[in-house]
Structure 1
């Protein structure tokens, strides 16, 4: 059987990435040009700046991916690209480039859902992984519990009703003076704090849902900080960070374990930037052992936005006969499972 080589492009937010992926699991190259230093001074991602930076570097990033893989454009079988969800301007840069490339070399174009890409990062890390399994997708813009029934078939079991987990991390980090990006900084500071020092709330819905809500937790932290400032109380930032993180992680872990029991599966795959969080990983492993559930993580480089995960997802779309034409457009609010 012929190997399928996918040239993948990812520009949904502030990383410009290109990769060459073979058969959905083998990564020949995965080049990422990060804009984090540029956006840090603004305290978050500025969409217009992100789009301009993508335009400046995308050609060089794609060429570097080909060079590292020691391939030419004529060796490629298809071009995969993220078309949503994400920042519309950023998405359009990658999409227009991918469409032009696919047209110029006469190869199929494959539109990939960014969230599906995060899930498929686990197929790169775990070569023998097959559905069914449950996936917890947690990043700066997304928080989902997904049941993967088969390749390319997803059922959303739970999702955030307000802030994404990573978004809550960024807002709390800013409030306690850590800056952007918040997730890694809170994770690091938490190791110096007492996670039981402050009792922050955990949102529990009473309508048989496994959805999340992190806005109340975020507000509770801000209220705690404001009250301490008004009363002259000394704030232990490490305790605040650790207590906030424990409250958030507890909800994520409780809900995803419940999903496994409901769907009668014994594997949880983690995806997205927050999947690198040390407390989330340790808590999931502990609870997984308790309930006989195997916990799977991608390597840290596959947790952040990258084109290798898009190449993996594109492969499974390709073998299922799902390609796109040149009318493919950006869908900034694309839902998982939509096509």
Structure 2
């Protein structure tokens, strides 16, 4: 079985072909980072227009890479939501059009489910049930996963997600977009002298997150060093970045530990763009070792938005029925629990 996957929820055009015997046999990705950098964030209209330009050439390149003809495909999977409505409509329109032209079924996929299932693309795969920590640019949540499509959200951010807090704090520091990875690199140069930052919502029961206040705390510390000489300011900012990252990672660890205890699970899946953070991975590895559990990640290229995770999710859902309707419908807001 072969599934073509199309991802277009935000600012990355991702196309992949999944083969049930060989795994991912084609993977193409185009990032719009340079397009949006001068604006300091994603401009939805520009994102949609760029998807229009890039998706068809990426599909052609993927089929060529996979040495695959349209007739050998079983279905076309596409991101149906959540995401930017214009960007989603581009991917959905192309997927539905190709489905009609090639006489193939189309499968609408939940973007976060794609992230959640991405570790299944690795040689070492988690078995159900497991706890999932989804940490992407716009989402931070803990999910109890009993099986395919059986997802219960047991904790989520009530304001900024972890990735948003990283990017916004980086922007306050004057780092280029996207700033989260740059802030993480800057944190590597911290000397540990910055006063500890708060660990939000860890002093009360529950599994929800809040990172907006932590971002404000970091902003106040950043503004307080504005009058320092440039050399001193750079070190202080590295120290602030380190303290901020430590606070975010510690908060995620504390909530993961609580959730594992609550669910009784010994397997933890971590997915989404922030799951590529090295400090987070190291600390979660130590945590799961202490708890005699296992932690699973997708490889770095599958942490951010990509077509591979959509193609695989399409493969998983194919036996359970596909959308025979040619109408185009997307869901910019689509709770994971509503799948």
Q: TM-score per shorter chain, which class? A: over 0.9
d(CA) in 2 for partners of 1:160, 1:268: 19
Deviation at 1:327, TM superposition (A): 2.7
Question: Residues 106-159 of structure 1, C-alpha deviation per residue, up to 9 Å, x if partnerless?
Answer: 111100000000011110014543211111111111111111101121111111
Instruction: Give the unaligned 5+ runs of structure 1.
Output: none
d(CA) in 1 for partners of 2:73, 2:118: 20
The residue that corresponds to 1:51 in the other structure is 48
Q: 2:173 aligns with which of 146, 167, 176?
A: 176
Tell me, yes or no, if the aligned pair for 2:106 and 2:322 is still in contact at 8 Å. no
SS in 2 for 1:155: strand
Q: 1:77 aligns with which of 71, 74, 78?
A: 74
The residue that corresponds to 1:241 in the other structure is 241
The residue that corresponds to 1:313 in the other structure is 313
The residue that corresponds to 2:267 in the other structure is 267
d(CA) in 1 for partners of 2:42, 2:28: 20
Deviation at 1:229, TM superposition (A): 3.4
How do 1:84-233 residues align onto structure 2 when only pairs under 5 Å count?
A: 84-195=81-192, 197-204=194-201, 208-229=205-226
Q: TM-score, normalised by structure 1?
A: 0.94
Deviation at 1:335, TM superposition (A): 0.9
Distance 1:97 1:193, change over 3 A: same
d(CA) in 1 for partners of 2:307, 2:337: 19
Alignment pair present for 1:254 and 2:254: yes
Moved over 3 A (4+): 205-208, 227-235
Deviation at 1:265, TM superposition (A): 1.1
Which has the higher mean CA deviation after the structures are superposed, 104-113 or 320-329? Answer: 320-329
Distance 1:179 1:77, change over 3 A: same
Deviation at 1:22, TM superposition (A): 2.0
d(CA) in 2 for partners of 1:53, 1:244: 34
Deviation at 1:219, TM superposition (A): 0.6
Instruction: Give the unaligned 5+ runs of structure 2.
Output: none
Alignment pair present for 1:295 and 2:295: yes
Number of positions where the alignment pairs a residue of Structure 1 with one of Structure 2: 336
d(CA) in 2 for partners of 1:86, 1:237: 33
Distance 1:155 1:38, change over 3 A: same
